[in-house]
Amino acid sequence: MTIGQSMLPEFDQEMKNTRTTLERVPDDKWGWKPHEKSGTVGWLTGHIATLPGWLAMTIQTTELDYAPVDGPQYTPPKIENRKEALAEFDKSAGEARAALAGASDADLMVGWTLLAGGKEIFTMPRIACIRGFVMNHLIHHRAQLGVYFRLMDVAVPGLYGPSADEGNPAPPAEKAASN
């Protein structure tokens, strides 16, 4: 089993949790934001929907300059609603899973560099970039969207167990004693 293949159960769980979260985004709140310095629900949703695609891009390239001096800046896909976000997420998560499953250990040890205007932000092995810059980044923004949900009175999904909105079922021992 390769390193990438060993990551698939975690990847699958996090993609399931992310899709569950994206399914709750209300279209009528697309332009809402909790603070003037915050991104909108729509921006955050689009960012989350496209983040899995960065995993495949990381495996397929050795660098990204998101603001090259003499070329076009990185422009994410324009996502206008929940349906489009889910379609983009499903596409990018599928491509990411295939790339991760097919990557050799040697592929994952190759250095990958993020640049801005030709200046290096960081270089690290692809595996470290996938874990930190892609997966942790995705989980961070998904949690941020959960806070937005709470502020908009949208039920927060339970991702690693029930949320306050889904109740707190009794542990198995208590259920057995109450029967």
Quick: pLDDT tens for 64-81: 999 999 888 888 899 999
C-beta of residue 155 within 8 angstroms of C-beta of residue 165:
yes
Tell me: the pLDDT tens digits for 164-177?
998 766 666 655 55
Q: Cα 27 from chain centroid?
A: 19
- Cα–Cα–Cα angle for 157, 83, 23, rounded to 5 degrees: 5
Q: Note the pLDDT of residue 171.
A: 64
Q: Note the pLDDT of residue 35.
A: 97
Mean pLDDT (whole number) for 52-69: 95
C-beta of residue 96 within 8 angstroms of C-beta of residue 144:
no
